[in-house]
Amino acid sequence: MASLSDTLPKLPVTDVLADLGAALSAGPRAVLSAPPGAGKTTLVPLFLLDQAWRGDGRIILLEPRRLAARAAAGRMASLLGERVGDTVGYRMRLDNKVSARTRIEVVTEGVFARMILDDPELPGIAAVLFDEFHERSLDADFGLALALDVQAALREDLRILVMSATLDVARVAALLDDPPVILSEGRSFPVEIRHQDRPAGERIEDSVTRAIVAAHRDDSGSILAFLPGQAEITRTAERLDGRFGPETMVVPLYGNLGQKEQDAAIKPAAAGTRKIVLATSIAETSITIDGVRIVIDSGLQRLPVFEAATGITRLETVRVSRASADQRAGRAGRTEPGIAIRLWHAGQTAALPAFTPPQILSSDLSGFVLDLAHWGVADPATLRLVDQPPAAALEEARSLLRLIGALDATGALTPAGKRIRDLALPPRLAAMILHAADDGEQAAAARLAVLLTEQGLGGPAVDIEERLRRFSNERGERADAARRLASRMAEGFGKTKAAGASTPGALLLHAFPDRVALQRGGRGRFVMANGRGAELLETERLAGCDMIVVADLTGQAGRQRILAAAEIDRATVEAALAGTIVREDQCVFDRASRQVRARRVVRLGAMNLEEAPLPRPTGAKAAAALADGIRQLGLQVLPFSREAAQLRDRIGFLHRSIGDPWPDTSDAALLASLDTWFVPFQEATRGIDDIRAGSLQEGLMALVPYDIQRDLARLAPTHFEAPTGQRHPIRYDGDEPVLEIRVQELFGLKQHPAIAGGRLPLLLELQSPAHRVIQTTRDLPGFWAGSWRDVRADMRGRYPKHPWPEDPAEAMPTTRVKPRGT
């Protein structure tokens, strides 16, 4: 009797299926590297159905996108002559088709992570296959780490297979303890690579349009063009409108399309017709668009980048990696010999990054940290992750989870955190539903949460109320599935109030308490409770609102643009966030007047809801506010006297020469320690212009431990007393102490001047009667015996009225000219 594998089509991966079967029979892990078009996504799971170790267990195939999951399930079901949901099914957030007969489940990566977190033993599952692992999504990385954890502790029989078309094999194999690595060589058909350099400054849609028109004219077959995003696809479609006859159809393909539109894009063109598919990176992997033999690659992709400093994720258009470029080119050789046209110079390919950066390095990690806490892991370094997440993003995630009540101070899940995690939503939105349920508003909150997580529903309006209205009336399979999902989310919270009892803004307060925003600086300009500014176009309705709550924004720090928000009023904010609103008297530094001001404020986070002036303050708070002003303006605004500046230099010199316990008096050190040496001596001061130089000197001296203050004069005296009896200040602003002195005042001195009990010589800058330096020395007796002769000869001619003895070591010191007649 023929096995299932004997009936499968012959594709490049067919040649290594036996090796793969042997590897997974001998051990629990393997890595499969196969180029685009090799057939790994559809043939490998079907082949594994016949393996003895599987028993009756299910095979889980992970795909990075819903489109890829549906397409893979459909392709495998058709090879078996069955419908999706029989032997092969799929499971994803808005849709699933599985049955008791299903033995291969194609799931999106986020669904698998939840499966294993909810039931770590993975009952009834024989193997987990990570497809297209090179995309390095956060869910795939985390899912693999969890699967390895489960395999080591609970399920030694569980098979784990990592598959990819372009993979850093060595790193992944090392993570899996070097299992067998199976390599499938070759592509189904050859692909000719061509390059067309894009003119500088030309819009990408214009370049792609020109390439499509030329390829359509010069070559046969359907065309797949890769563009960075939906906006570029729309503009390219507009430029192509009317360029071709009825035998050519132009169709878009991106994540926000409904299932029917996506399926229409990937199904073969009808006989005698051609198709031009305008796609994002969604078409790079796992799906086959039959009939495509020409690929046009813009060389660009749009990636989400999370900035821990701002707490927001923005989309950034970047060059594709070499791995992605290979993936895209491979789409042209799936069913026949093809052509890949790259819109960049051939020499630029080598400069592309090898792989797309893994999401774990540039993602919002709040959901990841929540799942870690559920798993009982405080430090992700204890898991087998290919790359460890950035510390700043981890801390930002923990701060957010504490803010919404999901984690306690120790980092453990709170009871609310457990319910938030159960909702399978971004933590902010899950917290919103949880709070709304207390008032019976869970249905409205769930619908709002689904709207915000399913991009494109309700249209692109910034005003969330408008989007909700459109979503309520929206027709289509995707909108219906989204509404059903919202209903399922709300079901677990008991009875719901009548719809419309709460506004979107009131609901969003519990998801984004740090993004409540107050209009400041004119129409469309807002400051949020987290202290950051954000802007709206002045033409938007919300631009004129006094307060809004921001659900989505983009841009870098200082220039953040609001993408989604809802109106809110102050009374609602104060009622909902009463526990976080602070009423206090503040002392602040006014930079314009350089004075300390006092005010009474009502504050939400860093945002002042209300403020009123108070009488000008004094005391510790005023001194602390003045210190803030010094931090803003710098130490140069302080009125250091000559004595205070010298004291600072003396102490700093001893710190550089001896070290502790002598304190550092550099600018950075003094700014960092203002609370110690500045604030206690300024409690009667109201502004920078009121600061006394003497108070600065007192403060600097307070930095020196009391038991060594008496040593300061001995180790670093302020002055040197010359043989004439004159006192001259010593400079300590460099690496060694410096004495500037006229040379005549040192006549008769046979030892070099020194400090610190004679141990540290002074650097002498010997001056002429006009106070110009004529010699620098660290050896005065050597100077008298040596180069003095040349100096004397020069100085006698310039200053004949001053004494220039032949032997200055035996002469009398003086500050005067020679007596008359000598």
Say whether pLDDT at 585 is over 90.
Answer: no
Q: Are 246 and 164 in the same domain? A: no
Stretch 433-440: mean pLDDT: 89
Q: Are 619 and 744 in the same domain? A: no
Q: Are 217 and 143 in the same domain? A: no
Flag whether 289 is in a domain.
yes
Q: What is the mean pLDDT of the chain?
A: 88
Give the distance from CA 366 to its chain's centroid: 13
- Measured in residues, the chain has a length of 822
Flag whether 220 is in a domain.
yes
How many CA atoms within 13 Å lie on the side-chain side of 798? Answer: 11
Stretch 738-752: mean pLDDT: 92
Which residue, among 762, 727, 751, 726, has the nearest Cα to 653 in the 3D structure?
762
Flag whether 460 is in a domain.
no
Where are the alpha helices (H) located in 665-787, listed in sequence order? 667-672, 674-677, 693-702, 709-715, 780-785
Task: Supply the CATH number for residue 252's domain.
Answer: 3.40.50.300
Say whether pLDDT at 324 is over 70.
Answer: yes
Stretch 501-515: mean pLDDT: 89
Confidence of residue 176 (pLDDT cuts 50, 70, 90): very high
Domain boundary among 672, 695, 711: 711
How many CA atoms within 13 Å lie on the side-chain side of 438? Answer: 8
Q: Are 624 and 737 in the same domain? A: no
Q: Alpha-carbon distance 648 to 650, whole Å?
A: 6
Q: Are 662 and 799 in the same domain? A: no
Confidence at residue 509, expressed as pLDDT on a 0 to 100 scale:
92
Say whether pLDDT at 428 is over 70.
Answer: yes
pLDDT 10s digits, 90-126: 998 778 899 999 999 999 988 998 899 999 999 999 9
Cβ pair 45, 76 in contact under 8 A:
yes
Where are the alpha helices (H) located in 658-767, listed in sequence order? 667-672, 674-677, 693-702, 709-715
Angle in degrees, CA 270, 274, 277, rounded to 5: 105
Confidence at residue 76, expressed as pLDDT on a 0 to 100 scale:
93
Stretch 332-348: mean pLDDT: 89
How many CA atoms within 13 Å lie on the side-chain side of 459? Answer: 15
Sign of torsion over alpha carbons 702, 705, 708, 714: negative
374: which 2 tokens?
A: 């559920």
Angle in degrees, CA 608, 609, 612, rounded to 5: 80
Flag whether 376 is in a domain.
no
Q: Are 51 and 168 in the same domain? A: yes
Confidence at residue 1, expressed as pLDDT on a 0 to 100 scale:
42
Q: Alpha-carbon distance 133 to 792, whole Å?
A: 84
Flag whether 175 is in a domain.
yes
Cβ pair 654, 712 in contact under 8 A:
yes
Say whether pLDDT at 256 is over 80.
Answer: no
Q: Are 341 and 198 in the same domain? A: yes
Confidence at residue 579, expressed as pLDDT on a 0 to 100 scale:
85
Confidence of residue 78 (pLDDT cuts 50, 70, 90): very high
pTM for the whole structure:
0.72
Confidence of residue 317 (pLDDT cuts 50, 70, 90): confident
DSSP, collapsed to helix, strand or coil, labels residue 526 as strand
- Domain range for 595: 577-711
How many CA atoms within 13 Å lie on the side-chain side of 696? Answer: 23
Q: Are 647 and 753 in the same domain? A: no
767: which 2 tokens?
A: 């001056």
Q: Are 223 and 347 in the same domain? A: yes
Any residues with CB less than 8 A from the CB of 694 and at least 6 apart, and which? 641, 644
Flag whether 474 is in a domain.
no
Flag whether 788 is in a domain.
yes
Confidence of residue 495 (pLDDT cuts 50, 70, 90): low
pLDDT 10s digits, 450-481: 999 888 888 889 999 999 999 988 888 888 88
Q: Are 172 and 240 in the same domain? A: no
Confidence at residue 610, expressed as pLDDT on a 0 to 100 scale:
86
Q: Are 176 and 200 in the same domain? A: no
Q: Alpha-carbon distance 701 to 137, whole Å?
A: 58
Domain boundary among 144, 165, 183: 183
Stretch 228-245: mean pLDDT: 91
Q: Are 605 and 731 in the same domain? A: no
The tally of domains found in the chain comes to 4
Parallel, antiparallel, or unpaired for β 760-761 and 754-755?
Answer: antiparallel
Say whether pLDDT at 31 is over 90.
Answer: yes
Flag whether 542 is in a domain.
no
Confidence at residue 166, expressed as pLDDT on a 0 to 100 scale:
67
Which residue, among 512, 305, 301, 510, has the nearest Cα to 393 in the 3D structure?
305
249 beta partners: 275
Q: Alpha-carbon distance 252 to 266, whole Å?
A: 10
pLDDT 10s digits, 186-225: 666 888 999 998 888 899 999 999 999 999 999 988 999 9
- What is the chain's alpha carbon radius of gyration, rounded to the nearest angstrom? 38
Say whether pLDDT at 167 is over 70.
Answer: no
Say whether pLDDT at 85 is over 60.
Answer: yes
Stretch 518-547: mean pLDDT: 91
